[in-house]
């Protein structure tokens, strides 16, 4: 599969928001308290403008297939970031794209000075959890910081 991973541009906003919402609908996942209901979902380019934040897009032949970002974790120690909004369209899953995308995010996080990376996910997202564990994330007992995603009840962290 011939794809590129690049930084988000303003023209990508509605396309990536659609991909993310489609994943939730496909998986019949909770919408309230998750990225689906995030008030900033339609303006991710604008959201990820700080020096220590970034959002990457996966694109193939002009089609947006997914994305993932690194954001500062609100109400946590400064050196902890959050792996945010990692979603891939169905046709992009199981091809190693998620691993490449996540590694690009984690490399950025380390480069800008974060010590740890935190993630929240849903219990039934088992394939994602397998990837996180393979990438060095460990389960922790409770949430860190204030992500606004109160429907997510699986918490993981990784030393960078």
Distance, in Å, from the CA atom of 17 to the CA atom of 93, rounded to the nearest integer, reads 17
Residue 138's pLDDT is what?
98
Residue 61's pLDDT is what?
93
Residue 151's pLDDT is what?
73
Residue-wise pLDDT for 48-104, tens only, equals: 999 999 999 999 999 999 999 999 988 887 799 999 999 999 999 999 999 999 999
What domains, with CATH codes, occur in the chain? 4-117 (3.40.630.30)
Structure tokens at 3: 């794809």
């Amino acid at each position: 599969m011939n794809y590129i991973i690049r930084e988000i541009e303003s023209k990508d906003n509605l396309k990536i928001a659609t991909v993310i919402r489609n994943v939730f609908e496909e998986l019949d996942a909770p919408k309230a308290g998750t990225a689906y209901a995030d008030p900033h979902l339609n303006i991710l380019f604008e959201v990820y403008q700080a020096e220590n934040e970034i959002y990457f897009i996966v694109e193939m032949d002009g089609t947006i297939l997914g994305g993932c970002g690194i954001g500062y974790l609100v109400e946590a120690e400064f050196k902890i970031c959050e792996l945010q909004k990692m979603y891939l369209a169905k046709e992009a899953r199981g091809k190693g794209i998620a691993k490449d995308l996540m590694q690009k995010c984690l490399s950025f996080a380390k480069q800008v000075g974060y010590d740890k990376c935190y993630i929240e996910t849903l219990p039934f997202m088992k394939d994602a959890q397998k990837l996180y564990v393979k990438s060095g994330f460990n389960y922790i007992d409770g949430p860190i910081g204030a992500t606004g995603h109160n429907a997510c009840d699986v918490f993981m962290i990784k030393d960078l």
